[in-house]
Amino acid sequence: MPIIIEKLSYTYQSGSINAFTALKDIDLTINDGEFVGLIGHTGSGKSTLIQQLNGLMQPTSGKVTVDGFDMNDKKQRAKGRALVGMVFQYPDYQLFDETVYKDISFGPRNLKLSEDEIDRRVKEAMRLVGLDFDEFAEKSPFELSGGEKRRTALAGIIAMYPKYLVLDEPMAGLDPAGRRAVLEMIDSFRRQLNCAVVMVSHSMDDIARSAEKVVVLKDGEIFKMGTPAEIFELADELNEMGLEPPFAARMASALRARGISLPGCIYTNEALVNALVEFKGGHSNV
């Protein structure tokens, strides 16, 4: 069963003079196992939208159902929330316990699992995010490097075995190698746990690589929704909104402008290389 968002609107401080409508009439479905990329300018309502997915914020009007649980209802909300794992932008907001092991086990423990099951899940989660158990389990989360903290924070959510994993800018502040590592990690546990992923990112390249569905938010409304190919076709419109299309898409459109005929829907580096090789009349080995 999917997450269904119907006619959702959200207004901050509604009723006061400072009222600000962050989301307007959002209709969106997140299917089982789907990888959804959420892009939009700063202030477009991305963060507000993902917080509706697990009931941290309730819509001013409209409805969110997670696997049939109505998130407007206080009792059903807790059940729905347990299905949606949410990783915030900064790991510093969630790490608190004495050791990495204890911190990761916080979520599973709140799910009231048995000790054996908690232990098994913590080990599994640490393996999935690439933290060596012997090296890190007894370390304090505050001694870790930025990348390690992020892995720990991620593991803390993965250990809850969410059916839907929501990530708010999971790669912010990481170097390119770190970005790739996190993205690969997300891909790998998506396959292993068979969960859906909703990822907010400023980086179109990261979205282009993994997402199956891309949602573009603009001023609190869904500007466009579709496959990456459909979205990145609109390179000019995205540019106008201040969103930079993926490198490959920009490159392809620049080449087309210079009279090199390339096929449409190029938005990954691999596709670009293939198209260029074909243009030159050779064979790709990518």
Partner 1 sequence: MFKDITLGQYFPVDSPVHRLDPRTKLILLVMYIVAVFITDYIWIFGFVLLFMLFMTYMSRVPISYVTKAIKPMKFILPFMFLLNLFMIKTGTVLFSWRFITVTTGGVYQALFIILRLIALVTGASLLTLTTTPVSLTEGLERLLSPLKIIKFPVHELAMMMTIALRFIPTLLEEADKIMKAQLARGADLESGNVLKRAKAMLPILIPLFVNSFRRAEELALAMESRCYHGGEGRTRLRILKFHWNDLIAFLIMAGLIAAVVILQNTFKIDSYLAAWVKALIGAAQ
Q: Which residue has the tokens 């490097």?
A: 145
Please tell me whether residue 8 binds partner 1 under the rule CB under 8 A: no
Helix then strand count (H, E) for the chain reads 12, 10
Q: Which of 59, 41, 35, 37 is CA-nearest to residue 49?
A: 59
Could you list the beta-strand ranges (E) of the chain: 3-12, 20-30, 35-40, 61-66, 69-70, 84-87, 164-168, 196-200, 213-218, 221-226
Tokens 């690969």 sit on residue: 184
Q: Site residues for partner 1, window 138-167 (CB under 8 A)?
A: 142, 156-157, 160
Min dist. Cβ of residue 244 to partner 1 (A) = 27
Q: Rounded to the nearest whole angstrom, what is the least distance from the CB of residue 90 to partner 1 in the complex? A: 8
For 195, which DSSP code?
-
Q: Is 6 in the site for partner 1 (CB under 8 A)?
A: no
11 touches partner 1 by CB under 8 A: no
For partner 1 (CB under 8 A), the number of binding residues is 25
Please identify, among the stretches 63-71, 82-90, 126-134, 175-183, the one whose residues bind partner 1 according to the rule CB under 8 A.
82-90
Each residue 104-143 as x (binds partner 1 by CB under 8 A) or -, in order, gives: --xx--xx------------------------------x-
**Is 54 a binder of partner 1 (CB under 8 A)?**
yes
Q: Which residues bind partner 1 (CB under 8 A)?
A: 13, 51, 54, 56, 81-82, 84-86, 88, 90, 92-97, 106-107, 110-111, 142, 156-157, 160
